[in-house]
């Protein structure tokens, strides 16, 4: 049987932006984002835009939010990013309007090919369509689309697409019922 | 089908305390609670009492504990609050005596009505009766009562009441066996 | 029915190292490990070795890693410790070569005897054999051995040993398929 050999891991093909841009963002992120100091959402929206993010109006960004690369992030109007959310966007993360990402949730674009010794990096985009709610400490994994108005309940793990207007729970998250808006 | 419209969200009816009190607590919490600097439990108990919490004797409070509003918190004698615990008490959290809340656990009093466009805030109290143990990185959701000596195992999510002297596991947490004390 | 009485808890028999050593490590850990400041893995490897850890070559240690006691830790060549990993090694944690511990994962050596009033501390070692992958925010509990090339998927909780070349998911983690390396 072959074995994992992490010394053969090679992610040179993955180019997420210049070192200068990434380094500058890293400093800014520590100062303004990964902190409990409650800088205003308006300031944080503007910083993200300067770094290339597409950020809609009235987006709320709570303290201690972890964003890997703003230039691969878009957030639509009125969406909320809760305290302690971790957007690990090695790939594109597209959050549409009126989404709520509750405290401690994670969006995880990275994966590895565990069938090869070199454990190759796999990057897949994540999309949250309009009106999605990710519950506290829930996790969305690489390549998943949460279709419009789907709900991922507290602490659940979405490893495949969520159907529209549907509520999911568990690890792996399974559909438990439909969502109807009155 | 109607849609979520977070611009119509209105939590003006939710009044968790004056802005002055909340702001002062926010500063104190950053300095003394949300930090790895190991201030003594005695100091932290006294600070919490000044802010209106009911804190029993010999309560242990580890570093990096996250408490939303101390004036809606009570903790009974000899209970332990582990490192990295997040008490998101938008509502009352009542922790009775001899409870152990292990590292990284979360108590979550907030919820949203996902059946209305305005995504109304729902706040429900949480009660841990005497002798309850919440395992590391477990989560108790809004409105749940953990009856006396119940146990929520590591990483599990309690979304309904836990029976007394019973052990729960999973997401959602299910009873797996009884707890007997010798 | 007897009750939990945490005032009778007694861990005097647990001797994880001198107070001087633990205090010095605590300061060093806050400065160099539990921080987003990206000190090099080389510096962190050397610090861990000074405190008694056995650390192989080319081990990668990302920012904000939480290590309880380095003198009870060994990490083999080329293994990776991801951002925000929490190694709560009250007991020995042995991580062999070519392991990947992804961001936010937890290794938890402590437990309690919940069948006695004094809630006695139970400490058990954790072993990750060669080529193991712990997914993001997964948890390995006290006493577990993850056999060679096992995989614990994102957000899952391993409460018993994982078989070699096998993939586990859920809470509690169940085997879902085999892992083959090409």
Q: Read off the CATH number of the domain in which A103 is found.
A: 2.160.10.10
**pTM greater than 0.90:** yes
Chain-chain contact of A159 with C171 (C-beta, under 8 angstroms):
no
The two counts, helices (H) then strands (E), for chain C are 2, 19
Tell whether A5 is covered by a domain: no
Tell whether A9 is covered by a domain: no
Chain C CA closest to residue A2: C181
pLDDT higher than threshold 90 for residue A102: yes
Chain-chain contact of B78 with C115 (C-beta, under 8 angstroms):
no
Who contacts B75 (Cβ-Cβ below 8 Å, separation ≥6)?
Answer: B53, B54, B55, B56, B59, B81, B95, B99
Q: How far apart are CA A178 and CA A168, in angstroms?
A: 9
Tell whether A12 is covered by a domain: no
A21 — pLDDT class (breaks 50, 70, 90): very high
pLDDT higher than threshold 80 for residue A1: no
Tell whether B13 is covered by a domain: no
Q: How far apart are CA A59 and CA A45, in angstroms?
A: 7
Chain segment A81-99, per-residue pLDDT in tens: 999 999 999 999 999 999 9
Chain segment C56-84, per-residue pLDDT in tens: 999 999 999 999 999 999 999 999 999 99
Contacts of C116 in chain B (CB under 8 A): 181-182
Tell whether C12 is covered by a domain: no
**Interchain contact C118–B (C-beta under 8 A):** no
Tell whether C99 is covered by a domain: yes
The two counts, helices (H) then strands (E), for chain A are 2, 19
Chain-chain contact of C80 with A171 (C-beta, under 8 angstroms):
no
B36 — pLDDT class (breaks 50, 70, 90): very high
Q: How many CB pairs under 8 A join B and C?
A: 76
Tell whether C7 is covered by a domain: no
Chain C CA closest to residue A111: C135
Q: How many CB pairs under 8 A join A and C?
A: 76
Nearest CA-CA distance, residue C98 and chain B, Å:
26
Average pLDDT over residues B66-89: 98
Which of B2, B34, B88 lies at the smallest CB-CB distance from A182?
B2
Chain-chain contact of C104 with A112 (C-beta, under 8 angstroms):
no
Chain A CA closest to residue B4: A131
Torsion of CA A154, A175, B162, C168, to 10 degrees: -80
Chain A CA closest to residue C36: A30
Which of A38, A78, A155 lies at the smallest CB-CB distance from B157?
A155
- Name the A residues in 23-52 with CB < 8 Å from any C CB: 26, 30, 34
pLDDT higher than threshold 90 for residue A50: yes
Chain segment A103-143, per-residue pLDDT in tens: 999 999 999 999 999 999 999 999 999 999 999 999 999 99
Tell whether A132 is covered by a domain: yes
**Interchain contact B180–A (C-beta under 8 A):** no
C1 — pLDDT class (breaks 50, 70, 90): confident
pLDDT higher than threshold 90 for residue B123: yes
Mean pLDDT value across chain A: 97
Nearest CA-CA distance, residue B115 and chain A, Å:
4
Nearest CA-CA distance, residue C135 and chain A, Å:
9
Report the percentage of chain A scoring pLDDT > 90.
99
Nearest CA-CA distance, residue B182 and chain A, Å:
33
Chain-chain contact of A30 with C38 (C-beta, under 8 angstroms):
no
Q: How far apart are CA B149 and CA C128, in angstroms?
A: 33
Confidence (pLDDT) at B1: 72
B182 — pLDDT class (breaks 50, 70, 90): confident
Domain count, chain A: 1
Provide the token pair at A19: 């070192």
Domain residue limits at B74:
19-168
Query: What ipTM is given for this predicted complex?
Result: 0.97
Q: How far apart are CA A123 and CA C162, in angstroms?
A: 27
- Name the A residues in 72-111 with CB < 8 Å from any B CB: 77-80, 98, 100, 103-104
Chain-chain contact of C34 with B36 (C-beta, under 8 angstroms):
yes
């Amino acid at each position: 049987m072959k074995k994992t050999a992490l010394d053969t891991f090679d992610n040179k093909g993955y180019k997420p932006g210049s070192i200068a841009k990434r380094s500058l963002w890293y400093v800014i992120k520590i100062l303004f984002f990964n902190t409990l100091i409650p800088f205003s959402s308006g300031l944080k929206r503007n910083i993200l835009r300067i770094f290339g993010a597409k950020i809609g109006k009235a987006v709320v960004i709570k303290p201690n939010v972890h964003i890997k690369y703003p230039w691969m992030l878009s957030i639509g109007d009125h969406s909320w990013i809760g305290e302690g959310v971790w957007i690990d966007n090695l790939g594109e993360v597209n959050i549409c309007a009126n989404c709520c990402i509750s405290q401690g949730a994670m969006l995880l674009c990275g994966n590895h090919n565990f069938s090869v010794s070199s454990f190759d990096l796999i990057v897949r985009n994540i999309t949250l369509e309009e009106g999605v709610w990710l519950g506290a400490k829930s996790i969305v994994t690489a390549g998943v689309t949460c279709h419009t108005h789907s709900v991922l309940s507290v602490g659940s793990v979405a490893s495949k697409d969520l159907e529209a207007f549907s509520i999911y729970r568990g690890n792996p998250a399974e559909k438990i019922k439909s969502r109807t808006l009155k």
